[in-house]
């Protein structure tokens, strides 16, 4: 049987153990910064030495519909020291099982964006939560 590619619209997001309905998650990446040094031993080793530092922090953006009376992300953002929380984003296969899981060890909220308000529009009000994430790993169960 040939495996089918995963569809990006079927995912589940969890923040501190609580499943939250987000309509979009972007910024999932693992990246290392490259540092380049010039040194005096270029005759033997070449002019440049390239090293790769520890993984960078990533900015994740999570979007969802705005709900009356639900201020948990605002409370997290303005809370004392904006306590880091664990997060998980799992892509779901056709059976409902997690097929690819992005685990974020520490996510700290840095911005909460409100919806675009327009008296002439009929769109759903969408809020965005931006977090700085570290300790990102990818698992393929």
Instruction: Indicate whether 73 pLDDT > 80.
Output: yes
Mean pLDDT for all residues in the chain = 85
Instruction: Indicate whether 39 pLDDT > 80.
Output: no
Instruction: Indicate whether 80 pLDDT > 60.
Output: yes
CB atoms within 10 A of CB 105: 13
The fraction of the chain above a pLDDT of 70, given in percent, is 91
Structure confidence at residue 42 (pLDDT): 61
- Distance, in Å, from the CA atom of 107 to the CA atom of 131, rounded to the nearest integer, reads 6
| Each residue's pLDDT tens digit, 41-57 | 666 666 777 777 777 88
pTM over 0.85: no
Domains annotated on the chain, with CATH: 11-139 (2.30.110.20)
Which of left, alpha, beta for 41 (phi over 0: left; psi -120 to 50: alpha)? alpha
């Amino acid at each position: 049987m040939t495996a089918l590619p995963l569809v990006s619209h079927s995912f589940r997001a969890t923040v501190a153990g609580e499943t939250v309905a987000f309509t979009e998650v972007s910024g999932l990446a693992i990246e290392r910064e490259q540092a380049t040094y010039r040194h005096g031993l270029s005759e033997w080793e070449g002019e440049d030495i390239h090293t790769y530092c520890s993984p960078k922090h990533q900015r994740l953006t999570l979007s969802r519909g705005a709900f009356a009376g639900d201020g948990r992300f605002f409370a997290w953002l303005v809370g004392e020291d904006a306590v880091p929380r664990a997060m998980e984003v799992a892509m779901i296969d056709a059976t409902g099982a997690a097929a690819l899981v992005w685990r974020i060890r520490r996510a700290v909220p840095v911005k909460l964006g409100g919806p675009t308000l327009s008296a002439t529009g009929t769109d759903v009000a969408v809020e965005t939560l931006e977090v700085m994430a570290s300790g990102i790993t990818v698992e393929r169960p």
